[in-house]
A and B are shown apart, each in its own frame.
Chain A
Amino acid sequence: MNASGLVVRGSGQTIPLEHVHVDARVVDVCARVTVRQSYRNREGVPLEVVYVFPLDEGAAVCGFEATVDGVRYVGRSVERDEAFAQYDDALEAGHGAFLLDEERADVFTASLGNVKPGSAVELSITYVTELAAEGPAARFTLPTTVSPRYAPGPDQTGVSPTPAEALNPPTALDVPYAFTFEMDVAMGGTIRRIQSATHPIEVDQDGARASVRLAQRSAPMDRDLVILIAADGLDAPHVTVERGAKGSAALVSFVPRFEAAAQPAEVVFLIDRSGSMGGESIEEVRNALQLCLRSLTAGSRFNIVSFGTAHAALFDESRPYDEASMQEAAALVRDMDADMGGTELLPALEWVLGRKAVAGMPRQVLLLTDGEVTNTDEVINLARRHAADARCFTFGIGAGASQHLVKGIARASGGAAEFISPGERIEAKVLRQFARLFAPALLDPRVDWGQPGVVAAADRVPPIFSGERASIYALLDEPRKGSVRLTGTLAGRPVAFDLPIDPAAAVEGDTIATLAARARIRELEEAGEYLESRGSLQRRARAKAKSASAIAALAVKYQLASRETSFVAVEHRETPLEGRAELRRVPVALTHGWGGVMRESHVSCLAARASAMPSYAYLDAGLALDALDSCALRVEPARAPRPLDALVALQRADGSWGLDAAFAAAVSLAPSSAAIDELLRGAVGDPETARRALATAVAIAWLERHAGAERVEWEMLAAKAAQWLSTSRTEPAAGAGWNGWLDVARRLVR
């Protein structure tokens, strides 16, 4: 037996998973992805192998095959308990069997039963997904590991497998398998840019087509792979009609643009300060919050609620935004650390959403989290129940944030989600979200397909924000030429958009039909009736007759994985296996940067952080917590603060800056006080206000000159500064009104 490099330390057992290869084919904003997991039993006994792994949250898993020593077995999607019964019966009878269960929309379990000694098995999992819109680009995400998830009390009790057990596979600092990746891209217009902030990639591009692969031969499975594709025509509104074996389907894709005045709001920042947010994540949160605090608009109210094992609010109630409240908040943010223990998101969000609303002001929650909890259903359901009075705008932070939680909360509450992977700066994304908080969205969108025989994938279309892509799916009996009308209300006024639909231009395939069916299933899975049914066996039994059976029927018809259906394949053997197979759980790699811990590099605080997590997350892989201290880990050092951050931290709530030593240092301005007095001599208006006007103009000029690349980060606060200047009732001696200060400042800033 040769098990070199695959043996779990200290146990003598092997890790049967050897390699993962991923093929992706992107056509416009849809991708078909095949994940091939290669296993080999290098032990002398039959094995049952269990591997918990992540998939894209939007994945519609439509194919599952097992190839055993060259022979292919195709899986079928059947009702979940029935799939398990087929798997278990096959195992008991000595046959081979393969099972794919969906634990959550982004966590799956593959089970390989009775793998014979020496046998090689390849599991092939195929899914289609829609690429997320990120500004003008499309974002492809391939999660590769399941981060350790905090399990609140109820998720650790009850009969096995509990959510804590199902969602926390054994975790190791390093695993002997890696992944390779290839992607073909075919866009409707010329590709402008393909890049990845998470992995070095090689790109061969020719017009609208490209092929992409990892620059390294293979990569560790410890972080998401994120690829951004920018191409012409991504924003063009269109209706795509498809015909295939699963019937006809249509996709409406468009990016509306509209302008409406910003509205004051109550903004509650809900900040995850659990141990897993340590290191780079919490540092980025601090920077982003400082920007947000300066970007709040006059008339708004705000609060900051931090959570870990418990939660704590800065103010008892949301306070009006002014200099005093802003300074108090800024001081809290400066000292913020990931020191609050576990991840009790549910009670924290309950507290926020349960507060009395401010009359006449929408409540907007800005949640920053790595999303590593097991009770995603309960949290999403809570956001859904409060959707009428609060929208949640969420951020998934880190190399392995739970897409399902982060997107699910936003979807349920009519907000929006963003993800920040290591290597991507948080500030621009936070401010893009921040802009959404204050901008009116197209509410209550509805689609009139203009023809009979249409089954909309979703009863409810989420609000649509200006400049962002909306994708709406439907299953069609027989597509007809005509027009599709999207209506909604914008700032209280009705609006409508018309798009032509032409069956003559239909494409062959089943991607859109599959995505449409998945969208319908997701709506059922995230509806209150289903989410509230997740719990005791008795309650689940009651739900079986309702939404659960609707989900199962749809998933079986379209051959999809879901919470109610699993894929199963059986390898009938002429000579069944005698004796029981030994269980091998495949460990997953600890997410890069999890809790501030980096591979290669030392940590004494990890054990304390990890105490918030189920301890078995580490144990099965032979890496007990006491072993971690000797594994030469390192806590990533804090990055040097940027000059931009230093300047932003000095801005006052009203938008102005003060002319003091800290300001002069931030903008590297060293004129003598006599020179400053000279610039201010003869200025019109209150002398002290004129000094602040000069400083404010210098700050704007400095941002324009030295932070052009980060414009999106400071645009809102610069607008607020200009607004303050315009009402300062001052102007320099040379005249030109308040704009004259900007002329003076631009000459001063080098």
Chain B
Amino acid sequence: MDSGRGRLSIDELAGLGGVSRRTIRYYVQERLLPPPLGVGRGRHYDESHLRRLLDVKAQQEAGWSLDEIRAGRRQAAGGGVELPGPQGQVLARSTWRRLELAPGVELHVAHDIRLPAPGRLNEIADWCRAHLPRNPEGEA
């Protein structure tokens, strides 16, 4: 990763987002995630992609449908997302981003906390992998 310019390859984006490449492509196809920047072999993602990816993932894991996420995206420009409830009342939901930094290590960040630059995140992930190894005895 070119951390200086904040460029992410799709594998790096997938790794930091804790999803597969298929998921990223699916979100792009469904217009939940902007297409990569640049052209040809220079295509890449950046911090805004990562932020958006983590938002969508968190919302989907909280049980939102893709249509609800799209609707929420239109209604809320940043910050928490509000959706009309069954009787017209507004359901307020807080959204958290979840980053899988290393196997078994996650970082949970509230929506209104600014994420560090991707390069910095990668450094934290490297630290986690080095200092928080898996216990070979099992998962207990």
Contacts and interface: CB of A to CB of B under 8 A. Distances in A.
Contacts of A84: 20-22
Interface string A45-58: 00010000000000
A344 B119 CA distance: 46
B115 interface: no
A578 B40 CA distance: 7
A537 B25 CA distance: 17
B60 A159 contact: yes
Among A48, A156, A161, max chain B CB count under 10 A is at A161
Contacts of A583: 29
Given A81-B20, A88-B10, A92-B43, A158 B26 contact: no
Interface in A277-334: none
A159 B57 CA distance: 6
Contacts of B43: 92
Nearest to B35: A580
Contact of B61 (A158, A579, A580): A158
Contact of A161 (B11, B23, B36): B23
B103 A541 contact: yes
A85 B20 CA distance: 10
A160 B60 contact: yes
B126 interface: no
* Size class of the B contact interface (CB-based, 8 Å): 20 to 34
B128 interface: no
A213 B11 CA distance: 48
A5 interface: no
Among B10, B22, B39, B103, max chain A CB count under 10 A is at B22
A84 B10 CA distance: 12
Interface string A161-188: 1000100000000000000000000000
A81 B21 contact: yes
Contacts of A579: 39
B17 to A, nearest CB: 9
Interface in A564-616: 576, 578-580, 583
Interface in B1-31: 10-11, 18-23, 25-27, 29-30
Contacts of A156: 65
Contacts of B60: 157-160
B121 interface: no
A81 B39 CA distance: 24
* Size class of the A contact interface (CB-based, 8 Å): 20 to 34
Dominant secondary structure of chain B at its interface with chain A:
helix
A94 B29 contact: no
B61 A159 contact: yes
Interface string B56-75: 01001101011000000000
B27 A160 contact: yes
A160 B60 CA distance: 8
B63 A157 contact: yes
B61 A94 contact: no
B104 to A, nearest CB: 8
Interface in A75-97: 81, 84-85, 88, 92-94
B8 to A, nearest CB: 13
A579 B21 CA distance: 20
Interface in A87-115: 88, 92-94
Among A85, A158, A160, max chain B CB count under 10 A is at A160
B114 interface: no
B108 interface: no
B131 interface: no
A81 B25 CA distance: 13
A160 B30 contact: yes
Given A88-B10, A541-B103, A583-B29, A160 B39 contact: no
A160 B21 contact: no
A88 to B, nearest CB: 6
Interface in A145-164: 156-161
A726 to B, nearest CB: 63
B36 A92 contact: yes
Among A92, A576, A579, max chain B CB count under 10 A is at A92
Nearest to A153: B63
Interface in B47-102: 57, 60-61, 63, 65-66
Nearest to A157: B63
B79 to A, nearest CB: 22
Nearest to A577: B40
A88 B25 contact: yes
Contact of A160 (B10, B26, B63): B26
Contacts of B19: 159, 537
Contacts of B10: 88, 92
A93 B40 contact: yes
Among B11, B20, B30, B60, max chain A CB count under 10 A is at B20
Contacts of B22: 84, 161
Contact of B23 (A157, A159, A576): A159
Interface in A169-226: none
A372 B138 CA distance: 38
B61 A157 contact: yes
Nearest to B11: A85
B40 A537 contact: no
A578 B41 CA distance: 11
A541 B18 CA distance: 12
A146 to B, nearest CB: 18
B61 A93 contact: no
Given A88-B10, A94-B40, A580-B35, A537 B29 contact: no
Contacts of B41: 92-93
Contacts of A578: 39-40
A569 to B, nearest CB: 18
A55 B51 CA distance: 39
A523 to B, nearest CB: 26
Given A81-B21, A88-B21, A580-B35, A161 B40 contact: no
| In the complex, the 4 A-B pairs of residues with the closest C-beta atoms, listed nearest first | A160-B26, A583-B29, A161-B26, A159-B23
30 contacts: A48-B29, A81-B20, A84-B21, A84-B22, A85-B11, A88-B21, A88-B25, A92-B10, A92-B36, A92-B40, A93-B40, A94-B40, A157-B61, A158-B61, A159-B23, A159-B57, A159-B60, A160-B26, A160-B27, A160-B30, A160-B60, A161-B22, A161-B23, A165-B26, A537-B18, A537-B20, A576-B40, A578-B40, A579-B39, A580-B35
Interface of B: 10-11, 18-23, 25-27, 29-30, 35-36, 39-41, 43, 57, 60-61, 63, 65-66, 103
Given A84-B21, A159-B57, 12 more contacts: A48-B29, A84-B20, A84-B22, A92-B41, A93-B40, A94-B40, A157-B60, A160-B26, A160-B66, A537-B18, A541-B103, A578-B40
